[in-house]
Structure formats: structure tokens, C-alpha cells
Amino acid sequence: MNKTNRVKVISQLLGVLLCLTLIQAACAQPEDPDRNLTFGNVTFGEVTFEDVTFGNVTYEDGAYEDVTSETGSIDENVTDDNVTDDNVTGENVTVHTINPTYRSLYLMSGNSEKFTVSFKNEGNETLVITPKVVSMSSSGNNIIESWITISPTNATVESGAVQEFTVEVNTPGDAEGAYYQTAIAFTDDLLPNSAEYVNSMKLDISIQASPKIELQTSYLSDTVEAGKEYEYRIKIKNVADKDVTVDPKVTSYMYDFSSNKFALSDAIVISAPSVIRAGEITNMTIKVPVPENATGSYNGYIDMNVDGKANDGSNPQIGLYFRAMQQPTVPYVKTFNTTSNVPITIEISTDSYDQNAGLRISPKNEEPSFKVKLKYNSHSVRISPTKITQSNNVNIGGYYFPVWALDNSTIYQNTSKHYVETYTVSGAIGEWELTILPENTETFGYSITLGKSK
């Protein structure tokens, strides 16, 4: 019985005793003022009792000042300092030195880490310490006890001595990504009115779950033409040790403040197997029908929804970025003047970067070209390329894609191209007009050389 309940018992008993004393005073004969009044086995005078029952409550033992019983006593010196109820204690608990009192770990699932914690016996007696993993009352996720090993499992620690313990945390490979909390208790003493241990250290573990799948690429970025449909194929590999399910869905970013954009999410169609076997490599196709009036860009991503769970950051998703291009119908115009009859050489060039080499299935990338016209003093001049130069940069192997995703179509990746058309005409003094209408390119450059080119 704790102090609060005992004080309540005393209060109720004193109230009853007072009432009975008043009754005694009223009923007592004047010639016998010291007469004792007895009810049951309770005698008022030198008040003693063994068992007293009021209603359904039986007070089996207790005393206050001159109230005594066979089994115990409570006097006016009762304080919290001496009250003990099971292992809930007050100041009579020895607070030992734990170092550190807190540790935070960040682990990938399947990884492990060790650290040392010391216990110093601040008491006067030798103790046998058996550390144990305990739950935190405020913890949302309690660490599974089997993850944690403490050695030695127990140790005899003399007064004033220090004992070191090694704590090893081994997270399973399939541990879910989450924030876990627990504690390691070195004694059984609890804080008053609490489930927390006095002599303990807190342990927090943030787990980053290992990915269950790998993707050939983490994004699709392409220039698309309004009114056309594009198809892409991306490889998926199950890197888990068991089968997984996927349910890819296109999602728009919650905050997209782009003013020049077009809607596309609802139109994109994704095809992928719902179950991927352990170690299997399979394909996912993505069809993107670009609206007829599309201008600007589209931003979004594909969430793979692995095993039907929200992405905790461990499994990859595919970013989507498409720029809509409208083929220009009005040419670029450049006018210039010549003061001699030297030959005129015109070079028009463009550079392109194919970030989707091996991913786009259709339509095939079309080579850039230019429709070029030239006028001299407002008269058309017949002109055609005298030279066309194409150059590519080729990456071999897994420069852009993981090795497991490479095959005959992707082992050589043409990542950047340089295309040049060269025109040469006889020169004359006067005014010239050059017009350039580009096709299948977003940018181009040109140069005009007067005189014989090297």
C-alpha cells in the first residue's frame, strides 16, 4: 500500500474515532469519566485495533500516534523518502552513472553498428548488473529486442567500480524505414508514477530501408512534338531476396508554379508486371501522348508503389520532364553587306544531347536539318550544302545506365551530337539576305565568312 492510500486510511479512521469519542463523551456517566468505550474489537482509551472494517473496506493494520496493531505502524513521520512500493522508489534509489545516457544511430537496413556504454556503481553495495532492452512509453516504434545484443550479459560491479558493456545493433535486411526508440536499463528502479527506468540510457535508431528495386534510369527528360505520341521502355530489377509487387502511378508535383506548362498526367499510360520475382529483370513501358496544343513543359514523376507502400525514400521513382516543341514555320532572317567580290562561306550548326539513348522506342530521333535560302539584292541565289559534317560523343558501358541494364542496344550510348551544314557561293558587292528554317532541333548557330575559307 503506498503512502497516499495509507494517509486516506488514517484520515477515514480518525474521522470514525472522533465520532465514536463524541458518542462516548455524550453517553459516559459523570462518576466514571475514564470509562473505556468498546465497539467490536476496538477500544477507545489507549486505542488499539487488530482488524477494523468500515463498509466493504477492511483495515488490517495501521496505527497513528497511540493506534497500534500486530503487523505494522504509521506515525506522523511517514514521508516519501521511506516509502517503497514494489520497485517504484523515491530518494532511497541510488542513481548510478551511465555514460553515455543517449545514443542516436543512422543505419541502412541490414547494417550493424557497435558502441560502448559504461556503468559506474555509485552505491555502497556490490551489484549484479544485467542490462536489458526496454520499451519507451512515448515510442511510436519499439525496437525489436532481437536486434540488440549486449555483452557481457551480466557483470558484478563493486561499489565505486566502472563496468563497460558493448552494445551491438543488427538491423534485418527487411527492416522498414522508420524512426525507432528504446532504452537500455541497468537496474529495475522506475521513476515515481512512470514506466521509465532511473538507471538507463536512451537509444534512437533511424533506419533507411534498403531498396527493393533498381531502375535503369531515375528520370525521363525529352523534347517532344505537339500532337505526337512517344513510347519509352525502362528496365526494372528486383534486388530484394523475395518477390515484390509494383503498381506504378504518375503523380504531379504538389507545388508547381510554372506558368508555361501543359497537362499530361492523366494521359500517360504505364504497363508493367504487377509481380517481379526475386532477382528478375523486366520491362516497363511508358506511353506519352502529347496534346495537339501543347506548349511549354510538363513536370511530374512515377511512383513505383513497391509492395503497396508509400515511398519512404528507399525505392527509386522516375522523374518526368518533357518540353513541348512546335516546329517553326517562319524562318530566321539575317541580312549583311559585302564590299568585295570574295567568296562567301556560310556554316550552320547545331548540338543535341540525347539523354534517352536506348529508352525511347518511338518515334525515332530524326536528324536535324535546315532549309536555307539566300538572296542578293532581292534576287534569289541558288544554294545547296557543299559539305555536311556529323560528329558524336559515344560512351561505352554503364556511364548513364547500370551494368545490369546494358544490352546490345544500350552498350554504346550516343550522348551528344554535333551537326554542321556548309554552303559556299560566289561573292559580289551588295546587300544579302540569309534565311534559315530549322527542323528537328531547338537551337542552332551560324557563321558567315567572306573570303576563301581555310
Tens-digit pLDDT profile for residues 97-140: 999 999 999 999 889 999 999 999 999 999 999 999 998 766 55
Cα separation, 328 vs 345, whole angstroms: 25
Of 406 and 33, more confident: 406
In a domain, 338, yes or no: yes
Give tens-digit pLDDT for 320-379. Answer: 999 998 889 999 999 999 999 999 999 999 998 877 777 999 998 888 999 999 999 999
Domain membership of residue 92 (yes or no) is no
The answer for residues whose C-beta is within 8 angstroms of residue 397's C-beta and 6 or more apart is: 403, 406, 411
Judgement on whether residues 194 and 249 belong to the same structural domain of the protein? no
Q: Is residue 89 part of a domain?
A: no
221 & 308 share domain: yes
The share of the chain scoring above pLDDT 90, in percent, equals 53
How many whole angstroms from its chain centre is CA 90? 41
CB atoms within 10 A of CB 183: 22
What is the total count of domains within the chain?
4
Verify that 120 and 198 share a domain, yes or no: yes
Sign, CA dihedral 116-117-123-129, equals: negative
Q: Which residue has the cell 554535333?
A: 418
200 and 118 share one domain: yes
Separation of first and last alpha carbons in the chain: 107
Please, are residues 214 and 402 in contact by the beta-carbon 8 Å criterion? yes
Verify that 402 and 353 share a domain, yes or no: yes
Are 159 and 237 within one domain? no
Q: Among 277, 298, 325, where does a domain finish?
A: 325
In a domain, 83, yes or no: no
Residue 168: partners with Cβ closer than 8 Å, 6 or more residues away: 112, 113, 114, 148, 149, 150, 151
Does 84 reside within a domain? Answer: no
Q: Is 356:318 a contact under the CB 8 Å cutoff?
A: no
C-alpha cell at 372: 536555307
Identify whether 86 is part of a domain. Answer: no
State the pLDDT confidence band at 407, using cuts at 50, 70 and 90. confident
The C-alpha cell that represents 406 in the structure block: 546494358
- 360 in the same domain as 289: no
Residue 203 shares a structural domain with residue 107: yes
Of 299, 313, 315, which is closest to residue 248 (Cα–Cα)? 315
Amino acid 344: pLDDT: 96
- Specify which residues 107 forms β-bridges with: 207
Residue 77 has pLDDT above 90, yes or no: no
pLDDT in tens, 237-273: 999 989 999 999 998 876 666 677 888 888 999 999 9
Mean pLDDT lowest among 65-74, 167-176, 343-352:
65-74
Say yes or no to pLDDT of 11 above 70. no
Final residue of a structural domain among 208, 236, 263: 208
Q: Nearest Cα to 113, choosing from 176, 184, 168?
A: 168
* Whether 308 and 398 share a structural domain: no
Q: Residue length, the chain?
A: 454
In the listed set 208, 227, 260, which residue is the last one of a domain according to the structure?
208
State which amino acid sits at residue 283: N
Q: Is the pLDDT of residue 275 over 80?
A: yes
DSSP 3-state of 56: coil
Q: CA-to-CA distance for 78 and 64, rounded, in angstroms?
A: 10
Parallel, antiparallel, or unpaired for β 57-59 and 52-54?
antiparallel
Flag whether 88 is in a domain.
no
Instruction: List, in order, residues 6 or more apart from 149 with CB less than 8 Å away.
Output: 167, 168, 170
- Tell me which residue range forms the domain holding 394: 332-450
Whether the predicted pLDDT of 26 surpasses 60 = no
- The answer to whether residue 252 is domain-embedded is yes
Whether residues 196 and 108 fall in one domain: yes
> What is the per-residue pLDDT for 17?
53
Give residue 381's pLDDT.
95
Pairing of strands 200-208, 102-108: parallel
pTM score, whole prediction: 0.64
Alpha helices by DSSP H, listed for 28-134, are: none
- Which 3 state secondary structure label does DSSP give 11? helix
Q: Are residues 306 and 336 in the same domain?
A: no
Taking the C-alpha atoms of residue 420 and residue 109, their distance in angstroms, rounded to an integer, is 53
- The overall average pLDDT reported for the chain is 81
Looking at the structure, do residues 140 and 187 belong to the same domain, yes or no? yes
Phi, psi of 446 (to 5 degrees): -145, 160
Write the CATH number for 105: 2.60.40.10
Among 134-138, 216-220, 223-227, 383-387, whose mean pLDDT is lowest?
Answer: 134-138
